[in-house]
Structure 1
Amino acid sequence: MNYGNLIRIAIRALANNKFRGFLTMLGIIIGVASVISMLAIGQGSKRSIREQISEMGSNMIMIRPGNGKFGGVRQSASSMQTLKLEDFEAITRDVSLIDKATPMVNSSGQIIYGANNAPTSVYGINQDYLDIRKFSVDQGEMFTEHDIKTAAKVCVVGQTVVNNLFTKGEDPLGKTIRFKSTPFRIIGVLTPKGYNSMGQDQDDMILAPYTTIQKRILAITYINGIEASAISEEASEEAIEEISAILRQNHKLAPGDEADFHVRSQEELSSMLSTTTDLMTVLLACIAGISLLVGGIGIMNIMYVSVTERTREIGLRMSIGAKGRHILFQFLIEAVIISVTGGIIGVILGIGSSLIIKYGIGWPVYVQVYSVVLSFLVCTITGIFFGWYPAQKASRLNPIDAIRYE
C-alpha cells in the first residue's frame, strides 16, 4: 500500500463526515485566528507608540528636579527649586553632544477670551522647543529672542485652544487672551498634532517666552525643567552622562550624595513602553494559544471516536496485508489534514479580522509574517501531537479482534 493511497483514503474518510470534521477544525481555526489577530494588535500598538515617541523627538532628553530633603523633610520633585537658569546655560555651553536646549516653566489655569474660557497649560520656553518636540507654526510666527529678553506678553497657541476660545471661527492672530489676569497677544498657531500614546492632547497648550512666565505669572527665579535634544539618538546616553556630571558639579554634590535632579531620555521611555506592550502581547498570545490546545484535544477526541467506529475496517485492512505503520499513517494523515486545513482557514480569518480591526475600529494593527508562519506551524504540530496516540492505538489492534468487533 503506497502513501498516495493512504492520503486518498484519509480524505475520503473525512469527506464522509464533513460536519464532524468542520467542528473538529473549529478549535484550530479559532486558535490560529486569535493568535494572529492578538499578535497583530500587540505589534501594532508597539509600532504606534514608537512612531508617536519619534514624532515627539526620539533624541529628546528631559531634565527635572529630583526629590530632596529640606529641613530634614523629604520634598516632592514638584516642590523642589534645584534647577536654575545657570544650569541651562552650563549645559548649552559645556555639553558637546547637545544640539538644542530650552529651559521650561509651566503653569495651569483658565484661559479667557471674551465670554469663552477653558482650562489649559502655559509653557514658558525658548525658540528651540519647537525643534526639540517636533512642533511647527502653522499660522503666524514664533516669538523672538528679543521677546524673551523683554519678557514680552506674546504667545503661540495650539489648535485646541483656538477651537475652545474662538468658537465663531475668528482669526486668532493678533487677538489678546488672558491667563490668570495677564494679557497675551497671539502671534502664532501651532500645526495640529492630535493625541499622543498617553492620551494627552498635544494641541491643548500655549507657548510663551520663559521669562514672561517666570516674571509675570509665577514670580520665580528657578525653572521647572530643561528639555534638550542630543545630536543623535545613539548619543543620548552619553549626553545624559555629561549633563549629570555638569549638574552635580554646579550643585556641589559629593560623589556619594543623592542627585537632586533626574535626567531621562525618550529612548528610556520607549524601551519601558515597548517592554510593557511586549508583555501584553505575550499574555494575549498565551490566552489565544489556549484555543489551539482546546482544538488539539478536540482532534484527539474525534480521532479516538473514528478509531472506535472503524475498528472492523482496520481489521479488514490488516487481514489483506496492511501493516501497522500504514494504519498509523492513515489516521495520522487525517489528523494532519484536519489541523492544516483548519490552520489555513484560521490564517485567512486572522488576517481578515486584523484588517477589520484596523480599518473598521481604527486600532493600530500590524500583521507580521512570523506570526502567520508560527501559528501555522503550531497548528500542524498540534495535529501530529494529538493525532499520534489515537493513530498508534489503531495500528496496534489485533486483526482478528478488530474484525470481530461489534
Structure 2
Amino acid sequence: MLFSESFQMALTSLYANKMRSLLTMLGIIIGVAAVIALVSVGMGVRSNVTNSIASLGSNMLIVSPGSSNRGGVRGAAGSMQTLKYDDAEAIKNKIKNIEYVSPSVSGSYLIVYGNNNWKTSVQGVTPEFMSIRSLSVSNGSFISANDMNKRSRVAVIGTTVAANLFAKDNPVGKNIRINNQPYKVIGLLESKGQSSMGQDQDDMVYVPITTAQERMLGITYVQSINIQVADPNKMDQVQSEVETLLRMRHHILGGKEDDFNVRNLTSLMETMSQSTAMLTMLLGAIAGISLLVGGIGIMNIMMVSVTERTREIGIRKALGATFMNIMTQFLIESMVIGIIGGIIGIIVGCAVSQLIAKIGAFTTVITMLPIVVSFVFSVGIGLFFGIYPARKAAKLDPIEALRYE
C-alpha cells in the first residue's frame, strides 16, 4: 500500500510541475532516442556490409593477379596477366572440397539496341558463375558449356540494362550490339539490387568467357578466379592448397613474391563485422553520454523538489514517517521520471530511425537489445541520481524542517 501511495504522490508532484518535469525528462528522452537511432544506423551499416559480401557468394575465395604487397608500382585493375584459364581448370581438377570454380574477365562497353544505348560492364564468365554468385534467371537461360565451346555471341543481362534498352519489352531472343558486334540475349536475371557500396548489381551483362577473351577483349589471360568452397570449416585449408598449386604452376620458388593474391571473403566478412560492431558500440556510447547528462538533470530537479517540500517532509516525519518512507517516496519520484522519459524516448528513437531510413535512403535495423538496454539504463539513471536528494530529504531534522519558510 505504501508503494502505491508513494507512486501516486510522485505522479501528483510531477503533474503539479508539468513544464519542469517535461524539461527534466527531456535529457532522458533525447538520450534513449539517440541510443536507439544511432545503434540502428550502426546495425544498418553492419547489415549492408554483410549482405554486400554475401551477395558475392558464400564460402568464397577470389584469386586476383598481382602480389598482395602494396609496395612498388602497381598496374591498373585487371591489367596484370599472371592468371590463365588453365590455372582455374587446375584448381578445379586437383583440389578437393571445392564446389565451383569460375574464371572471369570484364570490360566496359556501349550496348546498343535499336535507338537506345547504355554503357555498362560486360563480364565474361563460365556456367558455374551463376551458382557461385547465387544468380537467378527470371526469363530464358544462363550461359551453357555449349556456348563456351562454340564461342557463341550470346548474352545474359541484368534488369537495369533491360529497363534502359528494352523498357517493358521482353529482351530474350532479341539482338543487341556490344562493341559493334551482334549478340543474342538468351536470359534476363532477377534483380539483386544495390550493394552496400552503392553499386548496382543489376547493371551487368554476362557473356561466355571464351567469347569475351577471343572476340571482345583479344586476351589469353583471366582477370580473376572465383572459387566456392564446399565446407566453410575448410576455407583456410583450401586457400593454402590453392596458393601452393599456383606457386608450383607459376614456378615461384623459395622466398620469391607471389604473382597472385587469394582473398578469403569469409575472413573479410568477419573482419568487417567486427569493425562495424565497434562502430555500433561507439555510436551507442556517444549517445549514452546524453543519458548521463539527463541523470544530472534529474538530480538537480530532485534537489529543488526537496528544498521546496521541506515543510511537507517535516510534517510527514512528525506524523511518524521513517527514514525509509521518505527515501522511498523521493526514489520512486526520480524513477518515474526515468520510466516515463524512457518510454517516450523509445517511441521517439524508433520514429527517428524510420525517418532516417526513408529520408536518407539508408538502411537502419532496430533490434530489441538497444531498446531494452537504454530503457533499463534510463530507469537506473533515475534511481542512481535520485539517491542523494532522497537521502538528504530523509535525513532532515523534523523540527528544523517545520521551521523552514
TM-score (norm 1): 0.89
Q: Describe how 1:305-384 pairs up with structure 2 within 5 A.
A: 305-354=304-353, 363-384=362-383
- Residues 141-152 of structure 1 aligned to structure 2 (within 5 Å): 141-152=141-152
Map 1:3-402 to 2 at 5 A.
Answer: 5-67=5-67, 74-76=73-75, 78=77, 79-167=79-167, 169-354=168-353, 363-402=362-401
**Counterpart contact for 1:64–1:263, Cα < 8 Å:** yes
Q: CA deviation at 1:335?
A: 0.8
| Root-mean-square deviation over aligned CA pairs | 2.7
Higher alpha-carbon deviation: 152-161 or 320-329? 320-329
Please state how far the C-alpha of 1:374 moved relative to its aligned partner: 0.9
Taking a change above 3 Å as real, the CA distance of residues 228 and 397 of structure 1, as seen in their structure-2 partners, is same
CA contact (8 A) 1:68 1:80 kept: no
Task: Write out per-residue CA displacement over residues 295-337 of structure 1, whole angstroms, 9 at most, x where no aligned residue.
Answer: 1111111111111111222233333443434333322221112
Q: Is the 8 A contact 2:48 2:195 kept in 1?
A: no
Q: Is the 8 A contact 2:124 2:206 kept in 1?
A: yes
Once the two structures are TM-superposed, the CA of residue 206 in structure 1 deviates from its matched residue by 1.1
After superposition, the C-alpha distances for 1:64-98 in whole angstroms (9 at most, x for unaligned) are 112389xx963336332111122111100111111
Q: Aligned partners of 2:58 and 2:404: how far apart in 1?
A: 72
Task: Provide, for residues 35-74 of structure 1, a one-character-per-residue CA deviation record: whole Å limited to 9, x for no partner.
Answer: 22332333244334434543432222211112389xx963
Change in 2 beyond 3 A, CA 1:111/1:405: same
Q: Could you tell me which amino acid in structure 1 is paired with residue 367 of structure 2? A: Q
SS of residue in 1 equivalent to 2:187: strand
- Counterpart CA distance in 2 for 1:103 and 1:363 is 34
Show structure 1 runs of 5+ residues with no match. Answer: none
Contact 1:68 1:76 (C-alpha < 8 Å) held by counterparts = no
Q: Distance in 1 between matches of 2:76 and 2:68?
A: 7
- State the alpha-carbon separation in 2 of the partners of residues 12 and 375 from structure 1: 26
Query: Residues 288, 222 of structure 1: CA spacing in aligned structure 2 closer, same or farther, 3 A cutoff?
Result: same
The residue type equivalent to 2:108 in the other structure is: S
Amino acid corresponding to residue 106 of structure 1 in structure 2: S
1: distance between equivalents of 2:128 and 2:231?
16
Q: Distance in 2 between matches of 1:355 and 1:81?
A: 48
Tell me the CA shift for residue 130 of structure 1.
0.6
Inter-CA distance 75–291: structure 2 relative to 1 (3 Å threshold): closer
User: Which one-letter code corresponds to 2:39 in the other structure?
Assistant: L
Deviation at 1:188, TM superposition (A): 1.9
Count matched residues: 403
Query: Structure 2 vs 1, CA of residues 114 and 331 (structure 1 numbering), >3 Å: closer, same or farther?
Result: same
Q: What TM-score do the two structures reach when normalised by structure 2?
A: 0.89
C-alpha distance in structure 2 between counterparts of 1:380 and 1:68, whole Å: 52
Assess if the C-alpha contact under 8 Å between 2:51 and 2:196 holds in 1. no
Report the CA distance between 1:195 and its aligned residue: 1.5
Distance 2:80 2:41 in 1: 41
SS of equivalent to 1:226: strand
Residue 66 of structure 1 aligns with an amino acid whose one-letter code is G
Distance 1:334 1:348 in 2: 22
Deviations 1:214-251 (A, max 9, x none): 11222211110101211133333322122112112222
Question: In the aligned structure 2, how far is the partner of 1:92 from the partner of 1:77?
Answer: 27
**What one-letter code is carried by the residue in structure 1 that aligns with 2:37?**
S
CA contact (8 A) 2:101 2:225 kept: yes
Change (3 A) 1:5 1:210: closer
Identity of aligned residues (%): 44
Checking the alignment, whether the CA contact within 8 Å between 2:65 and 2:260 is kept in structure 1 is yes
Q: Is the 8 A contact 2:313 2:398 kept in 1?
A: yes
Query: Which region of structure 1 is more displaced relative to structure 2, 331-340 or 25-34?
Result: 25-34
State the 1:383 CA deviation: 0.7
Q: Does structure 1 conserve the Cα–Cα contact (< 8 Å) formed by 2:148 and 2:211?
A: yes
- Alpha-carbon distance change, 391 to 68 in structure 1, aligned in 2, over 3 angstroms: closer
Q: Gapped runs of 5+ residues in structure 2?
A: none
Report the secondary structure of 1:234's partner residue. Answer: helix
**Contact 2:193–2:202, Cα closer than 8 Å, also in 1:** yes
Partner of 1:103, secondary structure, is strand
Shift of 1:10: 3.4
1:252 alignment partner, SS class: coil
Give the Cα separation in 1 of the matches to 2:361 and 2:169. 32
Q: Structure 1 residues 383-392 or 360-369, which shifts more?
A: 360-369
Q: Partner of 2:195: helix, strand, or coil?
A: coil
Asked if the contact 2:58–2:132 (Cα under 8 Å) also holds between the matched residues in 1, the reply is no
Q: Distance in 2 between matches of 1:136 and 1:324?
A: 72
CA contact (8 A) 1:111 1:120 kept: yes
Q: CA–CA distance in 1 between the matches of 2:337 and 2:68?
A: 65
